[in-house]
Amino acid sequence: MNQDNKEYCESNLFNGLNGHSLISPIESVSNLVEPKIRLGILASGNGSNFEFIIKSIQNNELNAEVSILIVNNPSCLAIEKAIKYDIPYVIINHRDCNSRLEHDKLVMNKLEELSVELVVMAGWMRIVGEEIINKFNNRLINIHPSLLPSFKGIDAIQQAMDKRVTITGCTVHYVQKDVDSGSIIIQAAVPLKEKDSIETLKKRIQDMEHIILPLAIAKVAIEIRTSFKDKK
């Protein structure tokens, strides 16, 4: 190995991501879609992604407004965040519905009533039916904690650890009928560390989720506005 190669290898190649994360290249995203895009956020859990969407709006990184947070789980922490940031929210508990379709329709009606343009599943632990998918075609996105198409479904982080992959990550994608299968919008790669536990890895993946989800929203918002213009 000559000196140049040796230096290259030492500086780059063998260091891999050097413990850092990597975001997939996306065309420069302008946050200046006008007027603000109206978001509907669906959440079932802690709502950390929901909170980072709000922060991106507050920091002028995203020209959007959250028209509504919809939760299906009355005890989820996302509700506290909605109260903290004064965002309207509604609990539509699937346990009060007789069927998935009935629940989906209630969710869809609420989104339509508020003229939501883009629906973001930010930790929504429910499969959505075709009615919603068709209604919000190319306007319904989800965040998933793996580098899709690997490790679909629940426990994606554990699945990746069990397979002893060396790099995993997170993906924002359009929602299609098959779970975690729609076109990919943006991804972030997160290397595993030898001493990772599920908690440490989850934390690093979530840190990247909080970055890529607002970027994906900005990107899709531009696409929505462009396709609207095209139709005029």
Active site residues: 144
CA-CA-CA-CA dihedral for 117, 121, 124, 126, to nearest 10:
70
Smallest distance, ligand GRF to C-beta of residue 42, A: 10
Q: Does 169 contact ligand GRF by CB under 6 A?
A: no
Three-state DSSP state, 144: strand
Q: Does 21 contact ligand GRF by CB under 6 A?
A: no
Q: Does 168 contact ligand GRF by CB under 6 A?
A: no
Sequence-separated (6 or more) residues with CB below 8 Å from residue 102: none
Nearer to ligand GRF, 76 or 106 (CB): 76
CA count, 13 A, side-chain hemisphere, 66? 29
Angle among Cα 144, 147, 149 to the nearest 5 degrees reads 90
Residues 72-131 that bind ligand GRF (CB under 6 A): 122-123
Q: Does 173 contact ligand GRF by CB under 6 A?
A: no
Smallest distance, ligand GRF to C-beta of residue 160, A: 12
Q: Does 209 contact ligand GRF by CB under 6 A?
A: yes
**Contact present, 68 and 110 (Cβ < 8 Å):** yes
Return the residue of 103, 144, 173, 219 that touches ligand GRF, per CB under 6 A: 144
Among 145, 172, 147, CA closest to 156? 145
Three-state DSSP state, 53: helix
Return the residue of 22, 38, 45, 184 that touches ligand GRF, per CB under 6 A: 45
Three-state DSSP state, 215: helix
Q: Does 190 contact ligand GRF by CB under 6 A?
A: no
Smallest distance, ligand GRF to C-beta of residue 192, A: 16
* Number of residues located near ligand GRF, criterion CB under 6 A: 14
Q: Does 187 contact ligand GRF by CB under 6 A?
A: no
**Contact present, 33 and 225 (Cβ < 8 Å):** yes
Label residue 15 exposed, middle or buried (CB < 10 Å: 0-12, 13-18, 19+).
exposed
Q: Does 184 contact ligand GRF by CB under 6 A?
A: no
Return the residue of 24, 46, 138, 150 that touches ligand GRF, per CB under 6 A: 46
Q: Does 145 contact ligand GRF by CB under 6 A?
A: yes
Residues near ligand GRF, by CB under 6 A: 43, 45-49, 122-123, 143-145, 170, 206, 209
